[in-house]
Structure 1
Amino acid sequence: MAYCYYRWRRVLLCLCMPCILLALLIIYIALMVCFNMTSTTSSILGALDTHFIAPGSFRNDGNAPIPTNTFWALQPNKDALWNQLQRLIDRQYNPILRSHSTVGARKSSVVNDTSEGSHFSLSRVSSQMADFEKLPNHVRDFVRYMHQREYPVLREPTRSCEKGGRAEGNPQTPLLLLAIKSQEENFANRQAIRQTWGQTGWVLGKRGKGGLVQRVFLLGKNRAKAALNVLPLLELESQQYQDILQWGFHDSFFNLTLKDVLFWDWFSHFCPHTQFVFKGDDDVLVQTPALLDYLQEQMSQARGIRGLRSLIVGDVIGAASPIRDESLKYFIPGSLYKGLYPAYAGGGGVLYSGLLARRLNQVSRRVHLFPIDDVYVGMCLQRLNVNPIHHPAFLTFDFSKKEAEQPCRYHSILVVHKRSPAQITQIWMDLMATKSQCSNATLRVEESDGKGVTTKSAIKY
């Protein structure tokens, strides 16, 4: 019996030993392969394509690059001041980092909060910006007061935008509100606009029925003693035309953003059902009848104003870099802001829907003020996931040399920038005089030829 037991044990050992050794060899090989793959990941990524495709994707023309840096900034306190301040606000509203109840609780205008979570105290500004004392005075003034956005209203129209009620579609509800940024002493600019493209009431389109137009000029306050001489004239102007909306902040280039923010709030209270807003400078010329035709066409295509809740049109600038040249008025120091600007519509004039104006009013409460007003609007649009639409009829600079020779050139634009009051008056008279001659004029449009080359062509509006 014992002899049989030992005999079978030797047989089992002979059969199992090769299997055990083979299994160990396989495990060893697998471990070595895994080790080599881990140690050569960087070289493999460098040799392969630098993009990956998400599972289930059927297209590979928009692949995201493989990240090479950390997702979160390791030292956020080393970033520019505006970026630090905005990061705090964005994280408070981030649904991943904050619960829904927490986000809802923060909707009480966090940007006006004086706590450490919303903005740095003035005593810490110089510690956050190493070059603070070396910056120009207007930059330092902005940084000192960038958290302040509540200012008294000095003058405002006594008439509401919507005389006949506030229901959408009411014939007394304006189709278009012209909101024009001006300054106290710019009497000639405002008067030229009132007599030409800024006329109020029912304005006929070039081809369509037109619509009801209202007007308001947006002003700050001039600190200069010389400005005291204009105050009596400004008061008479305000009483006669009822189109002056003025706040008690210093009117400067870096404070133009305040005109947007305060206007959106005023608009939401007094013109909430106005369908469209044109916001521009007082040195632009607008071909208002053609603009009304364009709006009627857009509403027809969208089947009503509700389909245009995100409409914003202008001369769109994308991926622009901050200007670091201190001699220019657009100068933004690296200690204040880092990164590219979001897409924004510039050039002195932009058109957007009234629904979007009310949404901008809401989202602006959680976006820190930025010195350049057009860029700030782009920052707000970015958080609303709204993309501005580029239209070549919003002429930022001037006509090309070839276009300047065409007699009907001003019939081909909706907005043109940098025109004096005398030029605005003369151009408007020419537009009226050549109306029949240029009846077939078409708006400026840019089209791609499919080879990356942009060309101009014409379409009827």
Structure 2
Amino acid sequence: MLHGRSLSNLNLFPIMSSCLLHPRCILLAALAFLCVWAIFGPSGLRKELSFTPPMPAPAAPAPPLSLPHLLIPNVGACRSSGSQPFLLILVSTAPEHQEQRDAIRASWGALREIHGHLVRTLFILGEPDDSRWENIKEVLRWEAQVEGDIVQAAFTDSYRNLTLKTLSGLAWAARYCPNVHYVLKTDDDVYINVPGLVAELDKREKDLQQRDPNRDRTVQGEAKAGERESEQPTRRPPAVPHLYLGHVHWRVYPSRLKGSRHQVSEVQWPSERGAFPPYGSGTGYVLSAPVLRLILRAAGAVPLIPVEDIFVGVIAKRVGVAPTHNSRIAGAARYPIDRCCFGRILLTSHHMEPWEMKSAWELVRGSSGNGDKPLCSWLQETLGMLRCWMLNWWYF
């Protein structure tokens, strides 16, 4: 009780000053700042960063892109469901990685429809790089026939040929899946939160239609150009944003270390050019249909940089498309299996063993029954990405 003295008459400044100087108060203030920054700052849960590249689109058409022919073309994969998918997921895999492919088929790769949007998952690969793996060719042909989700091109499957693999997959998508809205390129050790990704892309598409309803005409013209190139009949598409979405890396310089799988030569990227343009991590980036066509048209004018995600970033800058960073796409970071992180917050998670892929799927699906809304408290949702970061730091 204050016995008649008002609160304003109390001298609280010495108390407040001593508290502010106390290490515990400083630590609490720092933690509070980090929480606010994680939620509302530029790198927060739903905040994004993008830069407009200074280099304009090329004035002259690029030389035609020369790609290896397809050994397993699987030309009807996008037509098997009766209509074109909203999201096509291209998983970069190696011929001998059947266990990884089976784990994806038994988990998130089994999803075919999310809220009325069709999803298709395909595996892109080359040929075994050693004659000792001759038996793998027969196994692959059998697997492709049984599963119906493999596209194989005639090149040696190796890390240094990832650019060829990615371009082969993107060219396949443009030709045999012409009405697809979005293509996700990922790897066979990445867990994909398919419902979350579809919801993210659907929201962007609806936002575009609300902001610019006349944009449909522009996209229609691009679709007609793509139709002439692919010689496939297309229907009138809805407005699809020019989107290159991923975990963006900035200010990355080329590695000149001989023998390194990331080595980039002076011919491929001269030193005077400095750092590479911003690019989305190859563990998972999304290209909308208009951006996919732009990249394929310009790819023939640029040397094939053997680091595929950097190559896509270079082409994107050339055609005037800026990558958009999304902190829910984890990039190369590995996160411990957690229901809230995998089911509600993260869109991708890297470094997943086949058994972990299945465990994460069972945890997420088992918590909700349908996988759309895993059990996750409002506090976990609000501080979800911070919680994922803390789990990552604690366990790894």
Per the normalisation by structure 2, the TM-score is 0.68
- Closer, same or farther in 2 for the Cα pair 1:407/1:173, shift >3 Å? closer
The amino acid of 1:390's aligned partner reads H
For 1:268 and 1:347, locate their aligned partners in 2 and report how far apart those are by CA, in whole Å. Answer: 19
For 1:382 and 1:326, locate their aligned partners in 2 and report how far apart those are by CA, in whole Å. Answer: 27
For 2:138 and 2:350, locate their aligned partners in 1 and report how far apart those are by CA, in whole Å. Answer: 30
Higher relative contact order (CA 8 A, sep 6+): 2
For 1:158 and 1:429, locate their aligned partners in 2 and report how far apart those are by CA, in whole Å. Answer: 32
Trace 1:149-168 onto structure 2 (pairs within 5 A). 149-163=66-80
- Closer, same or farther in 2 for the Cα pair 1:444/1:240, shift >3 Å? farther
Given that 1:279 and 1:350 are in contact with CA atoms closer than 8 Å, whether structure 2 keeps it comes out as yes
1:438 to 376, 384, 391: 376
Aligned to 2:326: 391
- Secondary structure in 2 aligned to 1:179? strand
Aligned to 1:173: 84
Aligned-residue offset at 1:195: 1.2
Aligned to 1:341: 276
- Secondary structure in 1 aligned to 2:108? coil
Structure 1: which 5+ residue stretches go unaligned?
1-89, 96-102, 112-148, 166-171, 448-454, 457-461
Aligned to 1:297: 203
- Closer, same or farther in 2 for the Cα pair 1:406/1:234, shift >3 Å? closer
- Secondary structure in 2 aligned to 1:198? helix
- Closer, same or farther in 2 for the Cα pair 1:381/1:108, shift >3 Å? closer
Aligned to 1:267: 173
Aligned to 1:318: 250
For 1:393 and 1:342, locate their aligned partners in 2 and report how far apart those are by CA, in whole Å. Answer: 21
For these two proteins, the number of residue pairs brought into alignment is 298
Instruction: Give the share of equivalent positions with the same residue, in percent.
Output: 25
CA deviations on 1:142-194 (whole Å, 9 max, x unpaired) are: xxxxxxx43221112142414577xxxxxx22111111111110001111111
Given that 2:100 and 2:354 are in contact with CA atoms closer than 8 Å, whether structure 1 keeps it comes out as yes
For 2:384 and 2:258, locate their aligned partners in 1 and report how far apart those are by CA, in whole Å. Answer: 35
For 2:238 and 2:324, locate their aligned partners in 1 and report how far apart those are by CA, in whole Å. Answer: 17
Aligned-residue offset at 1:359: 1.8
The amino acid of 2:298's aligned partner reads V
Question: RMSD of the alignment, in Å?
Answer: 2.9
CA deviations on 1:276-316 (whole Å, 9 max, x unpaired) are: 11110111000111111112211111117765441011100
CA deviations on 1:61-114 (whole Å, 9 max, x unpaired) are: xxxxxxxxxxxxxxxxxxxxxxxxxxxxx9xx965xxxxxxx4xx6552x6xxx
Aligned-residue offset at 1:442: 3.7
The amino acid of 2:262's aligned partner reads Y
Please identify, of 180-189 and 308-317, the stretch whose mean Cα deviation from structure 2 is larger: 308-317
Given that 2:254 and 2:264 are in contact with CA atoms closer than 8 Å, whether structure 1 keeps it comes out as yes
Aligned-residue offset at 1:211: 1.4
Larger radius of gyration: 1
Aligned-residue offset at 1:432: 1.2
- Secondary structure in 1 aligned to 2:179? coil
Aligned-residue offset at 1:347: 4.6
Structure 2: which 5+ residue stretches go unaligned?
1-54, 210-215, 217-236, 369-373, 391-396
Aligned to 1:74: none
For 2:248 and 2:170, locate their aligned partners in 1 and report how far apart those are by CA, in whole Å. Answer: 21
Aligned to 1:48: none
Please identify, of 404-413 and 357-366, the stretch whose mean Cα deviation from structure 2 is larger: 404-413
- Closer, same or farther in 2 for the Cα pair 1:439/1:156, shift >3 Å? farther
- Secondary structure in 1 aligned to 2:78? coil
For 1:345 and 1:335, locate their aligned partners in 2 and report how far apart those are by CA, in whole Å. Answer: 23
- Closer, same or farther in 2 for the Cα pair 1:444/1:195, shift >3 Å? farther
- Secondary structure in 2 aligned to 1:212? strand
Aligned to 1:19: none
Aligned to 2:121: 215
- Closer, same or farther in 2 for the Cα pair 1:405/1:212, shift >3 Å? closer
